[in-house]
Chains A and B, each alone.
Chain A
Amino acid sequence: AQSVSQHNHHVILSEAASLELGCNYSYGGTVNLFWYVQYPGQHLQLLLKYFSGDPLVKGIKGFEAEFIKSKFSFNLRKPSVQWSDTAEYFCAVNSGYALNFGKGTSLLVTP
């Protein structure tokens, strides 16, 4: 069965620190990959997505993610986080059916 795993459940960073959130999936076929963000009290928003082409994907708010097919990974990165990046981040994989989500990573950015 397809699964999505996010390595870190809780991450605490100081402002200006670099961020990398891990995401691995288990599916051998063609996949579409997504990162969603949910700010406190708000709904899910799409950060970025990968369908094909350049494996380094740039999203909104300075986020980027790299698809490494050989490692079945799609890690999310940001070189310098801000307090406003405090949120929950979800990795999702679509193999042609419904989206399968990871359990999410809660990011707290301290001033």
Chain B
Amino acid sequence: GAVVSQHPSWVICKSGTSVKIECRSLDFQATTMFWYRQFPKQSLMLMATSNEGSKATYEQGVEKDKFLINHASLTLSTLTVTSAHPEDSSFYICSARGALGGKETQYFGPGTRLLVL
């Protein structure tokens, strides 16, 4: 079946550094990729939507300059957390929307756990 991968699966960094998270669709072309964030004990919150070759659309309250999203190809999207701070520590999940077998659906990556010290 379709697989979406994320790299790294977890990362620990110092406050002030930038962290890049990759999201790849392995079996299909993802016309749209979504980035979610999950706070402890809470549901997933959509951060932004990116379409290949165009600028990402951010949800209200999400800082564009803080969370840089690049969707350079139909199989790769990256999320860069710039100048990370401890409050950015969270679980980041991407999902990719594409067609497989003629049916369009959305597949989730395994998530990236970020800890900012």
Contacts and interface: CB of A to CB of B under 8 A. Distances in A.
Interface residues on A, range: 10 to 19
A98 B46 contact: yes
Interface in B83-111: 93, 95, 103, 105-106, 108-111
Contact of A104 (B34, B43, B46, B110): B43
Main secondary structure on A side of the interface with B: strand
Contact of A43 (B46, B49, B106, B108): B108
B10 to A, nearest CB: 11
Interface of B: 34, 41-44, 46, 49, 93, 95, 103, 105-106, 108-111
3 residue pairs, one from A and one from B, having the closest CB atoms: A43-B110, A103-B43, A43-B111
23 contacts: A43-B108, A43-B109, A44-B93, A44-B108, A44-B111, A46-B108, A49-B105, A51-B103, A51-B105, A90-B43, A94-B106, A97-B49, A98-B46, A98-B49, A98-B106, A99-B34, A99-B46, A99-B95, A99-B106, A101-B44, A102-B43, A103-B42, A104-B42
